[in-house]
Amino acid sequence: MKALLVEKLPEGDFIYGVKLDGYRALSFKDGKKVRLVSRNNKPLNYTQLQDALKLLPVDHVILDGEIVALDGEGRSSFQLLQVFKSSQKRVKLKLTRAQEFVIGGYTLPEGNRKYFGSLLVGYNSPEGLRFAGRVGTGFSEKLLASIDAQLQKLKRSTCPFINLPEKTKSRWGLGITPAVMKRCQWVKPVLVAQVKFTEWTLDDQLRQPVFLGLRTDKEAPGVVRE
């Protein structure tokens, strides 16, 4: 059951659940065998969760739910979930905002950087795909290569963002002006990235964004500003 995004609730009495920021998944227990799959039927590996499923007092069961990691205040954190996925240890993290964004292009690499400089990301609005900022940190060289391989298959000649180019550079000199756009490569807006950031700026762009990972479980048309 996939949630439908609406502007307001219809009339009536409702019981609601808070949006959980994790991975929608199915878990299967068949005797001593346990496996997890995403809603795209891709395997997921969370040792602690799989060990817990093995302890269920049933031989055969299928469970549908959201895999989440909770911070100290009980809020789901996609960033914390990535840490548990790779290491599964007690960690202390600075809490920041995070949400999904659609990748609509990238800047060319400079200096010693390989593959690409930063990702150009945005979100869907009633008018179209709106540019939200460039994400240039959070990548290892292996990750740069992996993402670049996917981007090369999605190249297009026109900019997918409705609010580019910007007339002038921003306060921090990062604006996508017509001159900067000449050094950008556009892609079909189908890949979804999870990005953490400190806040939205006054000109509606991301401040200090950091790439967390690709969301293979999310589809680009459903990504909006949260």
* Residue 170 confidence (pLDDT): 53
* Residue 27 confidence (pLDDT): 96
Residue 191 predicted with pLDDT over 70: yes
Q: What are the respective helix, strand and coil percentages of the chain, to the nearest 5?
A: 15, 35, 50
149-178 per-position pLDDT tens digit = 999 999 999 999 999 998 765 544 467 899
Tokens (6 digits) for 135: 């994400």
Sequence-ordered strand ranges (E) for the chain: 23-30, 33-38, 43-44, 60-67, 97-107, 119-125, 128-135, 155-156, 184-187, 192-197, 199-200, 206-207, 210-214
Residue 13 predicted with pLDDT over 50: yes
Name the band, by pLDDT with cuts 50, 70 and 90, for residue 76.
confident
Tokens (6 digits) for 102: 């659609």
* Residue 9 confidence (pLDDT): 75
How do beta strands 33-38 and 43-44 pair? Answer: antiparallel
Name the band, by pLDDT with cuts 50, 70 and 90, for residue 17.
confident
**Structure letter (DSSP) for residue 151:** H
35-54 per-position pLDDT tens digit = 999 988 889 888 888 999 99
* Residue 36 confidence (pLDDT): 94
Output the CA torsion sign for 142, 144, 146, 148: negative
Residue 79 predicted with pLDDT over 80: no
* Residue 198 confidence (pLDDT): 87
% of residues, the chain, pLDDT over 70: 89
Radius of gyration of the chain (CA): 20
Count helices and strands in the chain by DSSP H and E runs: 4, 13
Residues pairing with 185 in the sheet: 106
* Residue 164 confidence (pLDDT): 94
Question: Which domains are present in the chain?
Answer: 23-86 (3.30.470.30), 97-222 (2.40.50.140)
121-157 per-position pLDDT tens digit = 999 999 999 999 999 999 999 999 999 999 999 999 9
- CA-based diameter of the chain, in Å? 64
Separation CA 78–CA 70 (nearest Å): 9
Q: What's the rounded mean pLDDT across residues 186-205?
A: 92
Separation CA 108–CA 28 (nearest Å): 44
- Whose structure tokens read 């302890």? 55
**Average pLDDT of the residues of the chain:** 87
Q: What's the rounded mean pLDDT across residues 6-20?
A: 78
Select from 61, 65, 17, 58 the least CA-distant residue to 44.
Answer: 65
* Residue 92 confidence (pLDDT): 45
The model's pTM: 0.62
Select from 221, 207, 220 the least CA-distant residue to 134.
Answer: 207
Residue 95 predicted with pLDDT over 60: no
